[in-house]
Chain A
Amino acid sequence: MSAILETKNLDKFFRDPVDFQALKKVNIAVERGEFISIVGSSGSGKSTLLYVLSTLDTDYEGHIYLAGEDLSVKTKNELAEIRNEKIGFVFQFHYLLPEFTVLDNVMLPALKLGKYSDAEIRKRALEKLGMLGLVDQADKKASRLSGGQQQRVAIARALINDPDIIFGDEPTGNLDSKNAQLVFDIFRELKEKYNQTIMVVTHDMNLAAQTDRTIRLHDGEVVASELIV
């Protein structure tokens, strides 16, 4: 099985306000269908690693390969296209567009991609919402939903273009434990049923324990990569 995501000697420096190395020679490989958590104390560089891996942050040294493609040589516009088509995001905050309906929010990245017709995209968006138990909320304004529901809509949006990998940045950080567990159950199910690759940053060790593998960072270095059996 080949790695869907792989890094080679990833370094990341912050120069402002003082020189600071946030990532040191990070070498990791993620297999397709893996559900991985990145853990570490605050300031360990776990979010920074996620932003670099997800192409949002391009100010790094070393190489990142997504599905065999070297991302470090891509232009900004090419990276935007890659994020659109191959990467899904779930952040701590849901980032739904408040004036749009739930359905519109889910459809937006697919409309941007323009691979399917509008009717097709609509059908697919409803499918994803169905998977997450939100079909009856489809025509509501996104701002009307509860926090847990909003986060699930954000997951549906991340899934709409069938990405190679979903990145979660503290996706349960704003949720109560019940909803947090629900989100992890969804991730688990996506992995089991659809072989979806997922990588989440979390500081909740209970949740991290439910993933296939935990990558532990300390001061920007990978100190452990533990398979959870």
Chain B
Amino acid sequence: MSFFKSPSFRIAMTHLLSKKRQTIVAMLGVTFGIAIFIFQAGLMSGFQTMFIEQTVNTSANIRIYNDVQGERPSLLDRFHDDGKTWNVVRNQKPEVEDPKLKNGKQLMDIISRHPDVAGVSPFIGSQAIFKLGIAQISGRVSGVEIEKENAIFSVEKYMIEGDLRKLETTPNGIILGEGLAMKLGAKVGDNMFVVSPKGIGLDLKVVGIHKSGIVELDNSRAYINIRNAQKLLNVDGSYITDLNIKLKDINKAKPLSVYFQEKFGYTAQDWESANANIFSVFKIQNMVTYLIIASILIVSGFGIFNILMMIIYEKLPDIAILKATGFKDKDIRTIFLTESLVIGILGGLLGLAVGYALQQIVGHIKMDVRGFVAMEYLQFNSSPAFFVFAYMFGLLATALAGYIPARKASKVDAIDIIRSK
């Protein structure tokens, strides 16, 4: 005899059906909890996934650079550290004066031959002031070999105007970030002027507009040819400050960065530690979201708890006779657990549907969010695994909420009730 034909299941269903309104209210509690879960956590995790993807696309898996130390012990400190002398050295310069990577091109060759490396792009980064007419904006120029840069960061995918190859083919091209171009009022074909901290200026022509989606970058960054960057800084043709590396397997970034750092003596930073502050924000965000969702599910759990307690008090005589006619404690427990699980299963399924519908509806409303990142539509996590997880979470909450009343019902003493009638 299957469970669904058993007397316990029939009794459970009869209880629920005889209290339709309360059953539906308890069910809607679960529905609401799961729908919020799907919507809220789906939005959060969708956003984070998108952000991580964009971050991975726009920052190197590993970046090798020469870390200019701001502070170091002075020579005086090294020889007079007895604690009795007070050493004062003013205007001490950093040991590494120039963030140059020595033999950068050779390093690049060695790294690009490593089996785990998909591509290496040389890079010169510098502060700069962009001028167009009377508009002056400070930002950063990235001197790159655009073909190599494109191979790593898919620059082309994020071009919204112009042609990135013109950076190579014209002697004085510049690709502006979208926000930067807007602030300057620059359009493709405009001539503009860039000044470096060394005081050297270059006349450049806008050949493209680029939009990575990460607002901070788009507001301040411009690509120029690496030779023009060298001119701006007044350095020779072998000068580079960074090597950006793309790996075949992004998960090897951490161990490989350690390996490169030891091997070459320069700082090698993997993408995760480069974005560590953002990931820690995500962690807090997730914690807050899941706390809110957990409290909603606890509230719906109380709904179930309530209706079961009500049914149990009303059905004490039924429980008494069931026990007298041979139902065991565990049969009684099964009846009320079944009731809470039926509420959970049906309410949860409805919640999944409502949550999915909410995702679809809100996901199709044009938002044009500009903050941390720029996106036209909200991104949701709608993977099946996520829905399964939400459903399991809901079922667990209802099972817990149902267990306490069910246990109480199973412990009812038949004689107490029969005597009091």
Contacts and interface: CB of A to CB of B under 8 A. Distances in A.
Contact of A80 (B10, B327, B419): B327
A108 B7 contact: yes
B277 interface: no
B326 A95 contact: no
A100 interface: yes
A144 B326 CA distance: 25
Among A85, A96, A111, A118, residue most surrounded by chain B Cβ atoms (within 10 Å): A111
B183 interface: no
B328 A76 contact: yes
B415 A83 contact: no
B258 interface: no
Given A99-B18, A169-B418, A108 B328 contact: no
A80 B14 contact: no
Interface stretch (B44-52, B239-247, B315-323, B343-351): B315-323
Interface in B9-51: 10-11, 14-15, 17-18
Contact of A89 (B1, B317, B325, B421): B325
Nearest to A96: B321
A111 B11 CA distance: 12
Contacts of B414: 56
A99 B414 CA distance: 20
A65 interface: no
Interface string A46-88: 0100010010110000000000000000001100111111000
B329 A109 contact: no
Given A47-B419, A95-B320, A114-B1, A157 B7 contact: no
Question: How big is the B interface, by class?
Answer: 20 to 34
Interface in B281-331: 317-318, 320-331
Interface in A79-122: 80-85, 89, 91-93, 95-97, 99-100, 104, 108-109, 111-114, 118
Question: How big is the A interface, by class?
Answer: 20 to 34
Nearest to B5: A118
B323 A80 contact: yes
A91 B326 contact: no
Interface in A128-151: none
B14 A95 contact: no
B421 A92 contact: yes
Helix, strand, loop or mixed for chain B's interface? helix
B325 A91 contact: no
Nearest to A117: B1
A85 B326 CA distance: 8
Nearest to B414: A56
Contacts of B327: 80, 84, 112
Contacts, number: 74
A47 B421 CA distance: 13
Nearest to B326: A84
B325 A108 contact: yes
A109 B14 contact: no
Contacts of A85: 326
A33 to B, nearest CB: 23
Helix, strand, loop or mixed for chain A's interface? helix
Interface string A20-59: 0000000000000000000000000001000100101100
Contacts of B15: 99
B324 A112 contact: no
A226 B96 CA distance: 116
A13 to B, nearest CB: 15
Nearest to B328: A80
Given A80-B323, A100-B14, A93 B317 contact: yes
A225 B39 CA distance: 75
A99 B325 contact: no
Contacts of B18: 99
Nearest to A55: B324
A93 B324 contact: no
Among B5, B317, B326, B329, residue most surrounded by chain A Cβ atoms (within 10 Å): B326
Contact of B324 (A56, A92, A111): A56
A91 B14 contact: no
Contact of A111 (B7, B14, B418): B7
Contacts of A92: 421
Given A80-B323, A93-B421, A57 B415 contact: yes
Interface of B: 1, 5-7, 10-11, 14-15, 17-18, 317-318, 320-331, 414-415, 418-419, 421
18 contacts: A51-B415, A54-B324, A56-B323, A56-B324, A56-B414, A76-B329, A77-B329, A80-B327, A84-B325, A91-B321, A95-B317, A97-B321, A99-B14, A99-B18, A108-B325, A111-B7, A112-B327, A113-B326
Q: Which 4 pairs from chain A and chain B are nearest by CB?
A: A84-B326, A95-B321, A109-B325, A80-B328
Given A95-B318, A97-B318, 5 more contacts: A76-B328, A82-B326, A100-B14, A112-B7, A112-B327
